[in-house]
Amino acid sequence: MALSLAALEHPIVQAPMGGGPSTPALAAAVSEAGGLGFLAAAYKSVDAVRADIEAVQALTDRPFGVNLFAPPGAAADPAAVERYAGTLRGEAERYGVALGAPRHDDDGWAEKLVLVAEARVPVVSFTFGCPPAEVVADLDAEVWVTVTTPAEAGMAVAAGADALVVQGVEAGGHRGSFDGSAPGDIGLLALLALVRAAVDVPLVATGGIATGEAVAAVLAAGAAAAQLGTAFMLCPEAGTSPAHKQALASEADTALTRAFTGRTARGITNRFLREHGADAPSAYPDVHHLTAPIRAAARERGDADGFHLWAGQAHALAEPVPAGELVRRLAGEAREAIARAGS
Amino acid sequence: MALSLAALEHPIVQAPMGGGPSTPALAAAVSEAGGLGFLAAAYKSVDAVRADIEAVQALTDRPFGVNLFAPPGAAADPAAVERYAGTLRGEAERYGVALGAPRHDDDGWAEKLVLVAEARVPVVSFTFGCPPAEVVADLDAEVWVTVTTPAEAGMAVAAGADALVVQGVEAGGHRGSFDGSAPGDIGLLALLALVRAAVDVPLVATGGIATGEAVAAVLAAGAAAAQLGTAFMLCPEAGTSPAHKQALASEADTALTRAFTGRTARGITNRFLREHGADAPSAYPDVHHLTAPIRAAARERGDADGFHLWAGQAHALAEPVPAGELVRRLAGEAREAIARAGS
């Protein structure tokens, strides 16, 4: 184990956010401020992830983390993906692109594992499943596994995880469930209590946390740290697209959907989500590749109705402040909230 | 206002649980121990509610509360209810009963309002909507309104509510949403943060709270008290049916469903929920009356697959201890958790 969670100056972890928002500048700013920054390796080439890691290492000597998506299970029924593709022809036309080819790949799993080991990344977290015990044992890093149910927590600890990222249903982006077709739906506070009753490793709480009071709450609930994603998406260091930022700052509702990637994720309710949510099969990453050109084109145009606006349920409380300032502010407010509750 | 939340010896409120679990003995035991006990007026005749209130008053001099269901909105489409009735004929046959008549009544709203005023009930809470400002102003009691979104919180405060019961999606039983057809789905911690940003009245946090650490968490998040329902359902003072108690003690999943009452509620997933959840219309209390004979017969037989097993997401952590002991234990554990988080 390369890092103890307890050694963090502030119990604040920046969640890895694939597809743009997570940047080396964001991760470095969070770590420099005394929190723990994270890179998202998903959807990137091995070379691009290596470049990100080197960029963080050039910006800070502090520990940071990299998140990997565990390989998907068996491929989905190609006919189901084909049927879904049929319902998306109008979208392809609207944005002037061809649908992507629905590959069932593993996002460079083996190569990225080698990379994080070679680069001596201090913390490696996994989402969408638990790596085999040999993989966990072989990594010199502190290994975190994302869980959404007490059963997943038990499996992750059995495989040797050093800490668990306990993801409540409030969280933005993908549900980190091991089984993509049966995503956990437990709210963060209930899940923390259930997981604490089941296992005895440090827990990192995530899902809908946007304020110092909420950080204080998960610490009081027994978590070792709070992990925040959406709360960092308006920071100048984040790579969040302008249309996405604008949606986050609104009071729009969020919903869980498979429409964009074939795996359940929480995003702000927009036209694409409303029109395709009911049709989308459980088929990740096939559907991710299928819809990628549409989403890229919509994002490029600034059309917030055509791409995934990942957001946690407290997104309206995100603030456009520098990441380091946000870490310090959250930590200070959390200390005040705990002192107030104790008085 | 007849009672300040801050005057409670312990910041623990027992949630009103209609249909059996809430009893005068349970409410009195919680209040006697320094928490705040609650009676559920729903589904009971005015005389039965009066008897419950008198029973509590005979058992304790301490404050307690009574919860009323706000009157439903416009009646649902009778054809939708009729269609749903058609899908339930097999259930009626299985349990040897006739389906109930799907009335659209208001559960004795006006009479129960008069009753709680005459009986000088210290705290009156409302679920399923906000009473008009005149009703709130006329009540000598402290008035609480259950909310599931920041918008509902704003409406309730505008109507004069003294405190809000902030209900996260983790909660067992009915969603307290004002609009039954659009139930709020926000997790408790995120909802507390959003509501605190929107209004400035004391908040009572509820949904999936079953441990002292979770009580500590909501206090750190800014709530004035925690309200627990499921956690009290195994207490000897509760009127929970044996089959329901057995299901609560298991690790069974819960789900949101309209199958039993026509209004979204969280219960343990059983056969009835699985088979009818997809068909049930938004039609409360029509569907409640329609299914009542089936549910009563299943409960009578101890058949946990045929009636509503309301349960919050942390139900597996409920313990069969006397209610007063539970209040004291939760309060003590909450104090310890806050002290630990502050150190």
| ipTM for the predicted complex | 0.97
Using 50, 70 and 90 to split pLDDT, how confident is the model at B3? low
Chain A residues whose CB is inside 8 A of the B341 CB are 216, 219-220, 338
Using 50, 70 and 90 to split pLDDT, how confident is the model at A72? confident
Q: Assign residue B203 the CATH number of its domain.
A: 3.20.20.70
Nearest-angstrom CA–CA distance, B26 and B14 = 9
Please give the angle made by the CA atoms of A197, A198 and A201, to the nearest 5 degrees. 95
Instruction: Please give the residue that has the higher pLDDT: either A73 or B86.
Output: B86
Whether residue A119 sits in one domain with residue A46: yes
Nearest-angstrom CA–CA distance, B218 and B236 = 26
Is B192 near chain A, with CB under 8 Å?
yes
Chain B residues whose CB is inside 8 A of the A338 CB are 220, 338, 341-342
Position A336 in a domain:
yes
Whether residue A206 sits in one domain with residue A100: no
Read off the pLDDT of each residue in A231-238 and give the average, rounded to a whole number.
98
Q: How many C-beta atoms surround the C-beta of residue A269 within 10 A?
A: 16
Structural tokens at position B283: 């039609």
* Pairing state between β A265-268 and A254-257: antiparallel
Using 50, 70 and 90 to split pLDDT, how confident is the model at A2? very low
Strand partners, B127: B69
Read off the pLDDT of each residue in A188-193 and give the average, rounded to a whole number.
98
Read off the pLDDT of each residue in A300-309 and give the average, rounded to a whole number.
98
How many domains does the structure of chain B reveal?
1
List CB contacts of B216: < 8 A, sequence separation 6 or more. A220, A221, A341, B333, B334, B335, B337, B338, B341
Per-residue confidence (pLDDT) for residue A3, from 0 to 100:
61
Per-residue confidence (pLDDT) for residue A4, from 0 to 100:
72
Nearest-angstrom CA–CA distance, A202 and A8 = 13
* Pairing state between β B173-174 and B265-268: antiparallel
Starting at the edge strand that comes first in sequence, how are the strands of the sheet with A265-268 ordered? A173-174, A265-268, A254-257
B204: domain range? 5-342
For residue B259, what is the enclosing H or E element?
none
Nearest-angstrom CA–CA distance, A256 and A244 = 17
Read off the pLDDT of each residue in A312-336 and give the average, rounded to a whole number.
98
Tell me whether residues B187 and A192 touch, CB distance under 8 A. Answer: no
Per-residue confidence (pLDDT) for residue B7, from 0 to 100:
87
Whether residue A220 sits in one domain with residue A147: yes
**C-alpha closest to that of A70 among A149, A142, A174:** A174
Tell me whether residues A189 and B217 touch, CB distance under 8 A. Answer: yes
Is A196 near chain B, with CB under 8 Å?
yes
Whether residue A213 sits in one domain with residue A83: no
Position A214 in a domain:
yes
Read off the pLDDT of each residue in A314-331 and give the average, rounded to a whole number.
98
Whether residue A154 sits in one domain with residue A269: no
Using 50, 70 and 90 to split pLDDT, how confident is the model at B107? very high
Is B337 near chain A, with CB under 8 Å?
yes
Nearest-angstrom CA–CA distance, A138 and A157 = 15
Note the pTM of the prediction, 2 decimals.
0.97
Per-residue confidence (pLDDT) for residue A150, from 0 to 100:
98
With 0-12 CB in 10 A as exposed, 13-18 as middle and 19+ as buried, what is B104? middle
pLDDT of A139 > 50? The answer is: yes
List CB contacts of A134: < 8 A, sequence separation 6 or more. none
Chain A residues whose CB is inside 8 A of the B194 CB are 313-314, 316-317
Of B194, B210, B221, which is closest to A217 when you measure between CB atoms? B221
Whether residue A94 sits in one domain with residue A5: no
Chain A residues whose CB is inside 8 A of the B317 CB are 193-194, 197
Whether residue A190 sits in one domain with residue A92: no
Starting at the edge strand that comes first in sequence, how are the strands of the sheet with B163-167 ordered? B12-14, B225-228, B203-206, B163-167, B142-147, B123-127, B64-69, B37-40
Strand, coil or helix: what is B196? helix
Share of chain B above pLDDT 90, in %: 95
Tell me whether residues B337 and A194 touch, CB distance under 8 A. Answer: no
pLDDT of A254 > 90? The answer is: yes
Per-residue confidence (pLDDT) for residue B328, from 0 to 100:
98
In chain A, the residue whose alpha carbon lies closest to the alpha carbon of B168 is A187
Is B221 near chain A, with CB under 8 Å?
yes
Read off the pLDDT of each residue in A189-218 and give the average, rounded to a whole number.
98
Q: How many C-beta atoms surround the C-beta of residue B34 within 10 A?
A: 16
pLDDT of A90 > 60? The answer is: yes
Position A329 in a domain:
yes
Chain A residues whose CB is inside 8 A of the B313 CB are 186-187, 190-191, 194
Whether residue A112 sits in one domain with residue A99: no
Position A254 in a domain:
yes
The alpha-carbon gap from A57 to the nearest alpha carbon of chain B, in Å, equals 32
Position A317 in a domain:
no
Of A186, A220, A314, which is closest to B190 when you measure between CB atoms? A314
CB A318 within 8 A of CB A268: no
Structural tokens at position A140: 């010199």
Is B218 near chain A, with CB under 8 Å?
yes
